[in-house]
Amino acid sequence: MTSAACEPTFIPGVFVVRRRVFGDSRGWFEETFRASDDCVPPGVVFVQDNHSHSSCGVLRGLHYQLRRPQAKLVTVTTGVIYDVALDVRRGSPTFGRWFGLRMEAGRGVQIFVPAGIAHGFCVLSETADVVYKCSDYYDPADERGVLWSDPHVAVKWPVAAPVVSEKDGRLPALGDVGDADLPEWKEP
């Protein structure tokens, strides 16, 4: 029996995961991961957990790894974010399209992002903590990305003037990324 409902999005392999949340006067409880869940495709094994703490208006992304691609299961543990998955898989039927989702702690909503998808989020609350499981280890030399404000991708970020790192502000537009720096589409 699965503890989660899996809702496919229009981007192949990207799922919204809805989990049961149990709450009472003391607070709430939710199971954030179960290896037997149908939402995590067979063969995906998580090897690293990351935890990001950010202030209101911070935008992180859009990042991906090329030679060591990471599937991710993203959970918000405090606060509210707007999460984005951008398909950068060369040959994908949804190449260059993005999916966005508002996520709030304690609501039982997660997103599964398969390997080969660029990922990012912005913080809508005073602060937010985001924890994500990864299917491969982070390698800074392998990190790639797409400019958060690429006008051809046109993500509708709900923050007018986000706080972006210098590194993320220098990322190329998707149209300027060469084929050698894009992951290849593989049927999920």
Mean pLDDT value across the chain: 93
User: Could you report the per-residue pLDDT of 111-146, keeping only the tens digit for each?
Assistant: 999 999 999 999 999 999 999 999 999 999 999 999
Q: Is the predicted pLDDT of residue 1 greater than 60, yes or no?
A: no
DSSP notation for the chain: --SEEEEE-SSTT-EEEEE-EEEETTEEEE----TT-TTS-TT----EEEEEEEETTBEEEEEEESSS---EEEEEEESEEEEEEEE--BT-TTTT-EEEEEEETTS-EEEEE-TTEEEEEEE-SSEEEEEEEESS---GGGEEE--TT-TTT----S-SS-B--HHHHTPPPGGGS-GGGSPBP---
pLDDT in tens, 5-27: 899 999 999 999 988 877 788 88
* CATH architecture, domain 4-24+43-174: Sandwich (2.60)
Residues assigned a catalytic role: 63, 132
Dump pLDDT digits (tens) for 57-111. Answer: 999 999 999 999 999 999 999 999 999 999 999 999 999 999 999 999 988 899 9
pLDDT at 187: 78
